[in-house]
């Protein structure tokens, strides 16, 4: 496993050429929200537009062929990155849309079933009856909570959730959460607020014992650690390109092929059909069934370049680098009087999202003082309000680390927090 050469990596990211407030160097600790982009990704996207731009899967001309090739090559490359087959990878706008795709598949299957429609084989798994259960956890990002709440409200299914222990781990000791009514288990791989990396094999085992499907929110794992969907044993994962060096506006849903084949479509229109008459339509096989309209080919090409970039570094090295920074950050923060880590205090089964609160200082004010010296963190509830409530905090300050961060950035964070305390006299 190679150690990362952060100086060389930084040189690939044009954004680090600029300075921020008061001419400070940029200390970017907000990759959990979105990552910065290397020129390799920007160039790939630009090259697509400059040389191969056409509508994918349409047209009989050379450019259309090249665009389609580039798009499908990107799909295969991204699929390989998570140990999957190209046909099982669906492009979406982002992870949020991917999760809605699944929840609306449930809704659409349920509605069609209520009308007595003739359902293709396998769809039963997506038909919800009143009293069926969907299981999430208390640490979910709103993107993996609200769609399930909505689905329950519309179908009469019941939303249940796995609670959290004091140190920010899943409380898996209540076996009744997994029962014969559980149809779907949707949990995060790594919490964007707490940093916790969840015990996926344990969840899969419990879900399998009751025949429930398992969705894993991989937004904070695929960019940061090696992920192999086959080894994980889950039914679906989703993540966004923009948090893994890729462009905005593209995300992925991966699903086991037998599961995707059974799912009714979410968004309908062009491209996703097999045959259309005025009376009825039959749908294409996955992944096209879930990709209505002209797809985001340039973004797919950019995301594929991001995968190449990460592969060249090696995901094990990426994970190790972040682990080293996380350990240093946790150690540095632990010494600050009045600071409380929200989430695991040690670096075991933990990613680089480090959230904290300071006695007598509001996160927004902490963020402001840090920003004044060029340190970009996120403050607020991080789209995980229930977890904030669970830990009795209104908001937190969160630092997240990635490949272009180094120990100097950790030191800058720690020093910045001391300045904030001094500035506000706490």
Partner 1 sequence: MKLENMYQEIILDHYKHPHGKGLAEAFDAEVHHVNPTCGDEITLRVSRGTDGKFSVSYDSMGCSISQASASIMFDQINNHDFKSGEAAVDHLVAMLQRSVEADEDVLGDGIALAGVAQYPARVKCALLAWMAWKDAAIQAGAESQLETRISIDSNKEQN
Ligand X SMILES: Cc1ncc(COP(=O)(O)O)c(C=O)c1O
Touching ligand X, residues 357-386 (CB under 6 A):
383
- Closest C-alpha among 423, 421, 422, 419 to residue 357: 421
Touching ligand X, residues 232-261 (CB under 6 A):
240, 251
- Closest C-alpha among 207, 168, 213, 175 to residue 190: 168
* Closest approach of partner 1 to the CB of residue 147, in Å: 15
Fill in the per-residue mask, 4 to 23: x = in contact with partner 1 (CB under 8 A), - = not in contact.
-----------------xx-
Specify the residue, 273 or 376, whose C-beta has the smaller distance to partner 1: 376
Does 143 participate in binding ligand X (rule CB under 6 A)?
Answer: yes
Does 219 participate in binding ligand X (rule CB under 6 A)?
Answer: yes
* Closest approach of ligand X to the CB of residue 36, in Å: 15
Exactly one of 217, 235, 322, 406 binds ligand X (CB under 6 A); that residue is 217
Phi and psi of 327, rounded to 5°? -60, -45
304 binds, among partner 1, ligand X, none (CB under 5 to 8 A by kind): none
Q: Which stretch binds ligand X (CB under 6 A): 83-91, 213-221, 310-318, 412-420?
A: 213-221
Exactly one of 192, 347, 381, 400 binds ligand X (CB under 6 A); that residue is 192
Specify the residue, 240 or 381, whose C-beta has the smaller distance to ligand X: 240
Specify the residue, 35 or 105, whose C-beta has the smaller distance to ligand X: 35
Q: What is the rounded distance in angstroms from the CA atom of residue 137 to the CA atom of residue 159?
A: 10
Q: Which stretch binds partner 1 (CB under 8 A): 1-9, 127-135, 205-213, 360-368?
A: 360-368
Does 363 participate in binding partner 1 (rule CB under 8 A)?
Answer: yes
Does 188 participate in binding ligand X (rule CB under 6 A)?
Answer: yes
Q: Which stretch binds ligand X (CB under 6 A): 58-66, 117-125, 171-179, 214-222?
A: 214-222
Specify the residue, 33 or 159, whose C-beta has the smaller distance to partner 1: 33
Specify the residue, 99 or 370, whose C-beta has the smaller distance to ligand X: 99
* 383 belongs to the catalytic site: yes
Does 186 participate in binding ligand X (rule CB under 6 A)?
Answer: no
Does 281 participate in binding partner 1 (rule CB under 8 A)?
Answer: no
Does 3 participate in binding partner 1 (rule CB under 8 A)?
Answer: no
Exactly one of 31, 68, 96, 108 binds ligand X (CB under 6 A); that residue is 96
Does 145 participate in binding ligand X (rule CB under 6 A)?
Answer: no
Specify the residue, 251 or 295, whose C-beta has the smaller distance to ligand X: 251
Indicate which residue of 152, 219, 252, 383 is catalytic. Answer: 383
Q: What is the rounded distance in angstroms from the CA atom of residue 278 to the CA atom of residue 282?
A: 12
Q: Which stretch binds partner 1 (CB under 8 A): 76-84, 150-158, 348-356, 377-385?
A: 377-385
Exactly one of 72, 73, 340, 424 binds partner 1 (CB under 8 A); that residue is 424
3-state secondary structure the chain: CCCCCHHHHHHCCHHHHCEEHHHEECEECECCCCCCCCHHHHHHHHHHHHHHCCCCCCCCCHHHHHHHHHHHHHHHHHHHHCCCCHHHEEEECCHHHHHHHHHHHHHHHHHHHHCCCCCCCCHHHHCCCCCCEEEEECCCCHHHCHHHHHHHHHHCCEEEEECECCCCCECCCCHHHCCCCEEEEEEECECCCCCEECCHHHHHHHHHHCCCEEEEECCCCCCCCCCCHHHHCCCEEEEEHHHCCCCCCCEEEEECHHHHHHCCCCCCCCCCEEEECCCCEEECCCCHHHCCCCCCHHHHHHHHHHHHHHHHHCHHHHHHHHHHHHHHHHHHHHCCCCEEEECCCCCCCECCCEEEEECCECHHHHHHHHHHCCEECEEECCCCHHHHHHCCCCCEEEEECCCCCCHHHHHHHHHHHHHHHHHHCC
Would you state the structure tokens that stand for residue 214, as one six-digit string? Answer: 């398992």
Interface residues toward partner 1, by CB under 8 A: 21-22, 362-365, 368-369, 372, 379-381, 383, 385, 388, 394-395, 423-424
Report, as residue numbers or ranges, the catalytic residues.
383
């Amino acid at each position: 496993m190679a150690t990362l050469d952060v100086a060389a990596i930084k040189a690939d990211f044009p954004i680090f050429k600029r300075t921020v407030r008061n001419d400070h160097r940029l200390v970017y600790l907000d990759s959990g929200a979105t990552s910065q982009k290397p020129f390799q990704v920007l160039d790939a996207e630009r090259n697509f537009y400059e040389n191969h731009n056409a509508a994918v899967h349409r047209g009989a001309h050379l450019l259309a062929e090249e665009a389609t090739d580039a798009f499908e090559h990107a799909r295969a490359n991204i699929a390989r990155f998570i140990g999957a087959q190209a046909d099982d990878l669906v492009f979406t706008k982002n992870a949020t849309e991917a999760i809605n795709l699944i929840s609306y598949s449930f809704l659409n299957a349920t509605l069609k079933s209520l009308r007595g429609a003739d359902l293709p084989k396998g769809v039963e798994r997506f038909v919800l009856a009143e009293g069926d259960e969907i299981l999430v956890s208390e640490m979910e990002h709103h993107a993996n909570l609200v769609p399930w709440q909505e689905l329950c409200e519309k179908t009469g299914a019941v939303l249940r959730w796995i609670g959290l222990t004091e140190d920010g781990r899943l409380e898996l000791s209540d076996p009744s959460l997994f029962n014969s009514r559980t149809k779907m288990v949707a949990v995060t791989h790594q919490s964007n607020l707490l940093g916790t990396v969840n015990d996926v094999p344990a969840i899969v085992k419990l879900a399998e014992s009751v025949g429930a499907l398992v969705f894993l929110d991989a937004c904070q794992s695929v960019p940061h650690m090696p992920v192999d969907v086959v080894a994980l044993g889950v039914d679906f994962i989703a993540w966004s390109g923009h948090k893994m060096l890729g462009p905005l506006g593209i995300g992925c849903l991966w699903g086991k092929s037998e599961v995707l084949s059974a799912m009714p479509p979410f968004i309908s229109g062009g491209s996703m059909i097999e045959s259309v008459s005025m009376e009825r339509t039959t749908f294409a096989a996955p992944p096209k069934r879930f990709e209505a309209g002209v797809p985001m080919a340039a973004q797919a090409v950019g995301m594929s370049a991001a995968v190449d970039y990460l592969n060249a570094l090696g995901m094990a090295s990426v994970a190790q680098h972040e682990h080293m920074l996380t350990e240093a950050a946790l150690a540095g923060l632990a010494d600050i009087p009045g600071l409380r880590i929200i989430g695991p205090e040690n670096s075991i089964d933990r990613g680089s999202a480090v959230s904290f609160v300071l006695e007598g200082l509001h996160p927004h004010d902490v963020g402001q003082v840090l920003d004044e010296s060029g340190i970009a963190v996120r403050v607020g509830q991080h789209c995980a309000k229930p977890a904030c409530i669970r830990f009795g905090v209104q908001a937190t300050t969160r630092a997240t680390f990635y490949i272009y961060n180094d120990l100097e950035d950790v030191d800058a964070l720690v020093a910045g927090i001391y300045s904030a305390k001094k500035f506000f006299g706490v």
